[in-house]
A and B are shown apart, each in its own frame.
Chain A
Amino acid sequence: MGGEITLGHYLVLSGALFLIGLAGVLLRRSLLVVMMSLELLLNAANLALVAVGRFQGIPDPQVAVFFVITVAAAEAALGLAILVAIFRIKKTTAADQMASLRF
């Protein structure tokens, strides 16, 4: 087993992180955790981008990552604000309680 870390290792790690995040988004009840999982999804993608850019020797994906980080920050701020607003009304952050828009 060689000690060298290849692009494949990075991509496997990125895929694992993405699946963990996906599971969190789909399965957890707490909206706070759902939002954390969303961040995990974004960072999994970021990791894949940075790794590919590094191993291919091109800077463009790394530039894209900065944008993703910025957008993620904005999304987190907005999402948390909405979450606080919902909590004030519903006194809960459980996702399955947010079903006012059903048929």
Chain B
Amino acid sequence: MIAYSPYLILLLPLFAAVVIRLFLHPFPRFAISVSTLACLGSFIGSLLLLFSGGLGGTIAIPAIPWIEFAGLKADFGLLMDPLARLMATLVSGIALLVHIYSIGYLKEDPHRSRFFAELSLFVFSMMGIVLADNLVTMFLFWELVGLSSYLLIGFWFDRPAAGAAANKAFLVNRIGDFGFILGILGVWSLFGTISLVDLPSSLAASPGGWAVTAVGLGLFCGCLGKSAQFPLHVWLPDSMEGPTPVSSLLHAATMVVAGVYMLIRVLPILELSTVTMTTIAWVGGAMTLLPALIACQQNDIKRILAYSTLSEIAYMVMAVGLGVTGPAMYHLTMHAFFKCLLFLAAGSVIHGCHEVQDIWKMGGLGKRMPFTAIVTGIGTLALCGIPPLSGFWSKDEIFAATAHHPALALVSMVAGFFTSFFMLRLILVAFGGSPRSEAARHAHEGSASLIFPMLILAILSVAGGFLPVNSFLGASPEGTHASWTLWVSLVLALAGFVPAFFIYRAATRDPLSIPILQGKFYVDEFYNRVLVANQDGLGKLADAFEGWVVRGFLVRGSGVVARAAGQGLRLVQCGQVQVYATIFILGALSLLWWILKSGVR
């Protein structure tokens, strides 16, 4: 049985979710303890596994037979290669910190039992994606993650915006998942296996051509949905309607990078087609810049960070598209640290200002919330890739990979410029100057459960670059470092601070007003006009068909016929027993006549 013990890191959070849902709903204190302890157990287990079995080795874990028919064999197993172990540790570790943060953040919420149950469900699902050893189980957990994301975005379901955002996230993800499942089916039919372990060795029989490209693009479609890349990025900014710990854990640090993780897993398939790889690289490249531009004109503190998340994930996607998974995974890890930190700091600000999210209604928070201000600064420097903070090391590796693709290098470095710009804007407006609302005037730091996770993450954001992360990622392309990318990206990142400083140093309202950026390039409007309008038309048509033909003609029509027949026939029931007897006699006579007539012949 000891061989199966690694399953515990997967099953503990599920156990917690079930127990809370079934028994502990009325006892939030116990629910929180169970959920947090389960997450702690998962984290310790992941940590033990991370350092056992050697840095480069894969730990073999017996699989549980699951699906087996006609050429499809999907066992329920765990893939414990270094990549999975690193990711599992990252997920459970960040989740643990967010659990602790949530204890303080949701102290007053009457439904916090439900919140922690859903959080545990998410940890279970996410660990499932990370540890899945074949594409079918991965897809299963992929959907579970979508479900927990839906539940958590809509946690405050009494707010209409939260409900709408949850629906939007779920529906947009459906589109990506549809492509993903088509991709999985394609992999099965082309290569005859869905196991991630056997996949690289079975690619030799690849037929090549457009089929492989289609399969690769299908799998990438899954990434587009979950990792919120263009054109399916519209759900992520809206998902900020959920509680801030959720934004931090799901929509910044872990869940949204599942798409990148999946791409790294199936990279051997993607690499079979240059078209696929080029598409991925350019979608990633374009998505580094566009959200960074949009973020420059947003006023909601969480939405600014959400757009920055889109941009950072795009760096990872671009790196995968360039075929360098090491830097992508490295940036994923570092990003988890500093973006989780930034969101938790934003949560601390929102908590301190009593649910104010507009940065123009804040101001002067640096004096009232010095700790939050400092960690936000640390997170910003890490995000902008200023040495020697964590973001610098991972971004540098990604920029180095673009050295031979000047166009991509230029786009992504300009994105770095704007990232610095909007982050400094956020800090100057929210933390600098003087308070611009009553809430900001009475802002205060939160309790220790809010401070502690931010402290840990701040340390990781500063020192993350010195963690031996790369040793788990196999050979990273050391030596290919082109120094020009380093200097250009650094200069651009630093240059981004300059205009922000001069524009927003003493601003009390936004001196810039760029409608197209405020309107987020009108992608939502485009979808509403074109897609949603057409859908509505189709829906109305179907409704009319249902109302007039099905309900009106078939259902109600047959009812009318039956009623009319009944109305006619009941006239016979006159209640006169002698009339009945007459009819009976007439019947008997006609029967007799009929018998005699046929009997003569």
Residue positions of A touching B, CB distance < 8 A: 22, 25-27, 34, 95-96, 98-103
- Top 7 closest pairs, chain A to chain B, by CB: A102-B575, A99-B575, A103-B570, A101-B575, A103-B573, A102-B574, A26-B578
User: Across the interface, do B576 and A26 meet the contact criterion of CB distance under 8 Å?
Assistant: no
Pairs A–B under 8 Å by Cβ, sample size 5? A99-B574, A99-B575, A100-B575, A102-B573, A102-B576
B585 interface residue, CB < 8 Å from A? yes
Q: Which of A95, A102, A103 touches B578 (beta carbons < 8 Å)? A: A95
User: Within the complex, what minimum Cβ distance (angstroms) separates A27 from chain B?
Assistant: 8
Q: Do B575 and A26 touch (CB < 8 A)?
A: no
Q: Is the CB of A98 within 8 A of B570?
A: no
The docked-state distance in angstroms from the alpha carbon of A45 to that of B53 is: 106
What separation, in Å, do the CA atoms of A100 and B574 have in the docked complex? Answer: 9
Which residues of chain A are near B596, meaning CB under 8 Å? none
Contact pattern, B 571-601, Cβ under 8 Å of A = 1, otherwise 0: 1011111100110010000000000000000
Pairwise interchain contact A101-B581, C-beta atoms closer than 8 A: no
Task: Name the distance in Å between A84's Cβ and chain B's nearest Cβ.
Answer: 17
Residues of B within 8 A of A34 (CB): 578
Contacts beyond the supplied A34-B578, A95-B577: 5 A-B pairs with Cβ under 8 Å:
A25-B581, A26-B581, A27-B578, A102-B573, A102-B576
B585 touches A26 (CB 8 A): yes
Interface residues of B (CB under 8 A from A): 570-571, 573-578, 581-582, 585
Which of chain B's residues have a CB closer than 8 A to the CB of A98? 575, 577
Q: Are A101 and B578 in contact (CB under 8 A)?
A: no
Give A26 to B582 CA distance when docked, in angstroms.
Answer: 7
With A103-B570, A103-B571 as contacts: A96 and B581 at CB distance below 8 Å? no
**B569: shortest Cβ distance to chain A, in Å?**
9
Number of A-B contacts (CB under 8 A): 31
Across-interface contacts of B585 in A (CB, < 8 A)? 22, 26
Which residues of B have CB within 8 Å of A95? 576-578
Contacts of A27 in B (CB 8 A): 578
Q: For residue B574, which residues in chain A have a CB less than 8 angstroms away from its CB? A: 99, 102-103
Expressed in whole angstroms, the minimum distance between the Cβ of A87 and any Cβ of chain B is: 15
Contacts of A100 in B (CB 8 A): 575
- Which residue on A lies nearest to B572, using beta carbons? A103
B575 cross-chain contacts in A, Cβ below 8 A: 98-103
Which chain B residue has the least Cβ–Cβ distance from A27?
Answer: B578
Partner of A101, one of B571, B573, B582: B573
Give the distance in Å from the alpha carbon of A41 to the alpha carbon of B575 in the complex: 23
Report the Cα distance A99→B585, complex, angstroms.
Answer: 20
B570 close to A99 (CB less than 8 A) = no
The interface centre, meaning the residue of B570, B571, B577 with most chain A CB atoms within 10 A of its CB, is B577
Residues of B contacting A101 in the complex (Cβ-Cβ under 8 angstroms): 573, 575
Contacts of A25 in B (CB 8 A): 578, 581
Roughly how many angstroms separate A102 CA and B581 CA in the complex, as a whole number?
15
Q: Specify which chain B residues have a CB less than 8 angstroms from the CB of A103 in the assembled complex.
A: 570-571, 573-575
Nearest A residue to B574 via CB reads: A102
Give Cα distance in the complex from A34 to B570, angstroms. Answer: 26
Min CB distance A97 to B, Å, is 10
Q: How far is the CB of B369 from chain A (nearest CB, A)?
A: 83
* Nearest CB of B to A58, in Å: 23
CB distance from B28 to the nearest CB of A (A): 65
